[in-house]
Amino acid sequence: MTTVTAQDRTAAFDAAVAADERIEPRDWMPDAYRATLVRQIAQHAHSEIIGMQPEANWITRAPSLRRKAILIAKVQDEAGHGLYLYSAAETLGTSREELLDKLHSGRQKYSSIFNYPTLTWADVGAIGWLVDGAAITNQVPLCRCSYGPYARAMVRICKEESFHQRQGYESLLALSRGTPAQHAMAQDAVDRWWWPSLMMFGPPDDESAHSAQSMEWKIKRHSNDELRQRFVDICVPQAEALGLTLPDPQLKWNDERGHHDFGPIDWTEFREVLKGNGPCNDQRITQRKQAHDEGAWVREAAAAYATKHATQRPAEPTTARTAPGEATA
């Protein structure tokens, strides 16, 4: 019998990643790869569920039944994304309870973007256009992530995010083409959400602690700055079509680079938000913990129901099931 050494396992893992094969839950993987995935997937899952709050703030005040129905569906989609992602993290041996506990106690992060307030209805459109737009730019490459369950979750999430982005764009377009007051409201929302959206991509490459290793493992396929640049290039013509201005006087096409140049990002603000000093950090976590506590009875009931059905599983039917009125063979 041949003995598989740690070296053999590492070599097999490296070869699979190099060949663009997927790593699956039962495959051996380095501890640091597992830890990086749990960190990123958890942060992503937390972002989806905390991200429900700023938009849900407008459900009761949506300007029409159609807008309300769309917004409810969108917020519900974000909850679903969180659940796919917690499930992906579970395949790495980390329970949802543990991750939620880390979120509630501040030991794990969620995206900086959700610490900003939604002050007007136009913010819902700006979130759809810019925040979902940034999310898609970042997440489409994650569909090719080396870890199978994360990559597969991302395929479905990206389809839904893409719809979210379009609804945000359409909503902003309606405002931009509306009355002068509506146009001004759309412009004000874009002015406030533009820079925080650029921060979603993470710190600049030379300050990104995890990028190099995550790219080597093919968890991340592009660096933070590459994706940020891609997003800026996508948004400029879309802003023109919307009739809105991006709040950056230094934004201009650079023929030599084949990209838009843009002004400096306020990384001090980013770091402050990450430290918990953003406009809504306390509110988001307080509300999240309250929702978790108030939902305890639902989790208990669901667990009791699952236990009951696991112990009282009905015997397999011995004959084929037939629809009413259908003749049995």
Q: Which amino acid is at 37?
A: L
Task: Decide: is 138 part of the binding site for ligand FAQ (CB under 6 A).
Answer: yes
> Do residues 119 and 61 make contact, with C-beta atoms less than 8 angstroms apart?
no
Rounded Cα distance between 117 and 281, Å, is: 10
Q: Which residues contact 152 (CB under 8 A, 6 or more apart)?
A: none
Which 3 state secondary structure label does DSSP give 281? helix
Of the candidates 34, 152, 166, 210, which one interacts with ligand FAQ according to CB under 6 A? Answer: 210
Based on CB atoms, which residue is closest to ligand FAQ, 209 or 327?
Answer: 209
Rounded Cα distance between 107 and 243, Å, is: 42
Which residue of this chain has its Cβ atom nearest to ligand FAQ in the complex?
51
Q: Which amino acid is at 262?
A: F
Task: Decide: is 284 part of the binding site for ligand FAQ (CB under 6 A).
Answer: no
Other Cβ atoms within 10 Å of 103 Cβ, number: 22
**In the complex, minimum distance from the CB of residue 263 to ligand FAQ, in angstroms, rounded to a whole number:** 18
Of the candidates 132, 145, 187, 288, which one interacts with ligand FAQ according to CB under 6 A? Answer: 132
**In the complex, minimum distance from the CB of residue 148 to ligand FAQ, in angstroms, rounded to a whole number:** 16
Q: Which amino acid is at 304?
A: A
Task: Decide: is 123 part of the binding site for ligand FAQ (CB under 6 A).
Answer: no
Of the candidates 87, 208, 245, 287, which one interacts with ligand FAQ according to CB under 6 A? Answer: 208
Q: Rounded to an integer, what is the distance from CA 98 to the centroid of its chain?
A: 19
**In the complex, minimum distance from the CB of residue 79 to ligand FAQ, in angstroms, rounded to a whole number:** 10
Task: Decide: is 48 part of the binding site for ligand FAQ (CB under 6 A).
Answer: yes
Of the candidates 187, 214, 229, 281, which one interacts with ligand FAQ according to CB under 6 A? Answer: 214
Q: E-strand spans in the chain?
A: 252-254, 259-261
> Do residues 328 and 320 make contact, with C-beta atoms less than 8 angstroms apart?
yes
> Do residues 186 and 122 make contact, with C-beta atoms less than 8 angstroms apart?
yes
| Footprint of ligand FAQ on 65-94 (CB under 6 A) | 78
Pick the piece of the chain touching ligand FAQ (CB under 6 A) from 61-69, 106-114, 117-125, 260-268.
106-114
Task: Decide: is 211 part of the binding site for ligand FAQ (CB under 6 A).
Answer: yes
Q: Which amino acid is at 249?
A: P
Q: Which helix H or strand E contains 25, and what residues bound it?
A: none
Which 3 state secondary structure label does DSSP give 324? coil
| Total number of residues that touch ligand FAQ (CB under 6 A) | 30
**In the complex, minimum distance from the CB of residue 194 to ligand FAQ, in angstroms, rounded to a whole number:** 14
Site string for ligand FAQ, 49-68 (x = CB under 6 A): --x-----------------
Q: Which helix H or strand E contains 181, and what residues bound it?
A: helix 180-199
Rounded Cα distance between 258 and 12, Å, is: 40
Rounded Cα distance between 135 and 47, Å, is: 11
Of the candidates 104, 109, 221, 292, which one interacts with ligand FAQ according to CB under 6 A? Answer: 109
Based on CB atoms, which residue is closest to ligand FAQ, 9 or 210?
Answer: 210
Q: Return the DSSP state at 251.
A: -
Q: Which residues contact 160 (CB under 8 A, 6 or more apart)?
A: 77, 80, 81
Pick the piece of the chain touching ligand FAQ (CB under 6 A) from 98-106, 116-124, 128-136, 181-189.
128-136
Of the candidates 274, 283, 289, 292, which one interacts with ligand FAQ according to CB under 6 A? Answer: 274
Q: Enumerate binding residues for ligand FAQ (CB under 6 A).
A: 39-40, 43-44, 47-48, 51, 78, 109, 111-112, 127, 131-132, 135, 138-139, 199-203, 208-211, 214, 220, 224, 274
